[in-house]
């Protein structure tokens, strides 16, 4: 029994030592393509981000947000001209992992539990 437990514990020891790469500062500015899967639907948008502003195009609609970085990997977006109550809610985005040209993120409305995940690919 002790031997079986030891064999099961070994993989968990190595998993705890692995750290995901997070070079978040590489993704604070630039032009990106975002892909988010919700249920069976894939939503794609293109956006350009500067230190203080993000302009996003989705379904031929342009949306602009103020950008406030909490730290290198977390940002809050505030819609500049909200058209309804939902657009008035700020969005919190956290970069989870990065590669040389993309990042995986999770986001939610500020104060809400439900989080969605997606990926963004740096185009420029």
CATH 3.40.50.300 fits 21-122, yes or no: no
Token pair of 58 as six digits? 């989705």
The predicted structure's pLDDT at residue 10: 53
The predicted structure's pLDDT at residue 8: 54
Q: Which of 28, 64, 27 has its CA nearest to residue 45?
A: 64
Q: How far is residue 30's CA from residue 120's CA, in Å, rounded to a whole number?
A: 11
Local confidence pLDDT in tens for the 124 residues of the chain:
455 545 555 555 555 555 566 889 999 999 999 998 888 888 899 999 998 999 999 888 899 999 999 999 999 999 998 888 888 899 999 999 999 999 999 999 998 888 999 999 999 7
Q: How far is residue 20's CA from residue 22's CA, in Å, rounded to a whole number?
A: 6
């Amino acid at each position: 029994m002790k031997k079986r437990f030891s064999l099961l514990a070994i993989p968990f020891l190595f998993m705890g030592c692995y750290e995901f790469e997070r070079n978040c500062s590489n993704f604070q500015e630039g032009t990106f393509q975002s892909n988010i899967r919700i249920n069976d639907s894939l939503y794609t948008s293109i956006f350009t981000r500067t230190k203080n502003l993000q302009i996003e195009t989705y379904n031929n609609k342009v949306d602009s947000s103020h950008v406030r970085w909490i730290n290198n990997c977390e940002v809050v977006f505030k819609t500049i001209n909200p058209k309804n109550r939902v657009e008035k809610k700020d969005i919190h985005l956290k970069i989870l992992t990065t590669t040389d040209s993309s990042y995986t993120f999770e986001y939610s409305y500020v104060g809400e539990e439900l989080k969605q995940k997606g990926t963004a690919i740096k185009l420029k």
